[in-house]
Amino acid sequence: MNYNTRTIINGKKLTQPEVNLLTKLEELGMPFITVEPLFPLVLRNPVTGAQSHSLHPLVYSLAKFVLDAYSTYGFSGKMSYRGKPVTIQLFDRAKMLVLKLDPSTYRDLID
């Protein structure tokens, strides 16, 4: 992962707690796209059908994590990602980072 406190995404600088969050997500097995892709990164919410605009690779990775983890949420009140448990706190922090970096993606796909 090549993100640090000097990283600026969509005009917003990452803080140390946000970099720490990315490290935790990487430990969970979340893949980060670290180079600009040759094609637009677009996500679709499987519940609402809403589609995002072309996303920054980090925003894409975070939003995909949030959607994937939420899809495992059940009556037990627990979530997982790739078979590993995800705490509500970690999930909420990832959502809030999406909101900070790209409010329209948060509004269209997550909220």
Residues 41-96 have pLDDT tens digits of 888 877 777 777 888 888 999 999 999 998 888 777 789 888 899 999 999 999 99
pLDDT of residue 97: 96
CA distance 88 to 108: 21
pLDDT bin (cut points 50, 70, 90) of residue 10 is confident
pLDDT of residue 94: 95
Quick check: 103 pLDDT over 90?
yes
pLDDT bin (cut points 50, 70, 90) of residue 35 is low
Every domain of the chain and the residues it spans: 8-110
73-96 CB burial, b ≥16 within 10 A, e <16:
eeeeeebebeeeebeeebbebbbe
pLDDT of residue 1: 63
Among 40, 38, 5, residue whose Cα is nearest residue 19: 5
pTM (predicted TM-score): 0.85
Q: How far is CA 28 from the centre of its chain?
A: 13
Of the ranges 1-5, 20-24, 34-38, 58-62, which one carries the lowest mean pLDDT score?
34-38
